[in-house]
Structure 1
């Protein structure tokens, strides 16, 4: 079995729900992520992203100060390509969120509440695609 691409990742998670934030961080900690930083909102996430480099950024779509779409657009505008893998998290209609998320520069979308297995599978897939892009 190959080693997980998620293991060793540096991850920024932005969610205004402390419960959701801690749940996602616990899932990723158990998966072997080496740096897990939580942000309680979009502005804080952008500030943290400006201070450190992340492999993955998980963004709640609906945050009071700055929504996930705005954060994703700002990250794509300020981070040299290929930038981090960006995944939007939402409890809303995923089809609607998926279209808007991709337009904002997100790589994927995950329904909330987050399912551990699905989150890790999605991150593995997106990190593998990102790694393949870096080779070419």
Structure 2
């Protein structure tokens, strides 16, 4: 279940864009020169789809080892609540899968409504039937 959870977090990160950061020195990234002291946006969701790091990144593969995803950030900017969020998700998924084996969407997937926010990504609701 842990491997599948990491892949789900990599595949559809709850945080698409992190808060602003500022460059501390000039650098070149992807052929673009970025001067020191300018604001930059970090996109962990996009990094989680980097084909140089995750082969076939647009394919959801629940057997993939994706422990190094950036869904919770990285380094000093890693979410302090990441271990709790991960544990909660793993417990919830375990209960749903073991107690509600026939769980399925109550509506077509294309009818699901996503929240429209800059930082956090998630569904407005998740209607299911057992």
User: Which category of TM-score, normalised to the shorter sequence, fits these structures?
Assistant: under 0.3
Larger radius of gyration: 2
The two structures have a TM-score, normalised by structure 2, of 0.27
The structure showing larger relative contact order (alpha-carbon pairs under 8 Å, at least 6 residues apart) is 2
More helix by share: 1
After TM superposition, the score normalised by the length of structure 1 is: 0.26
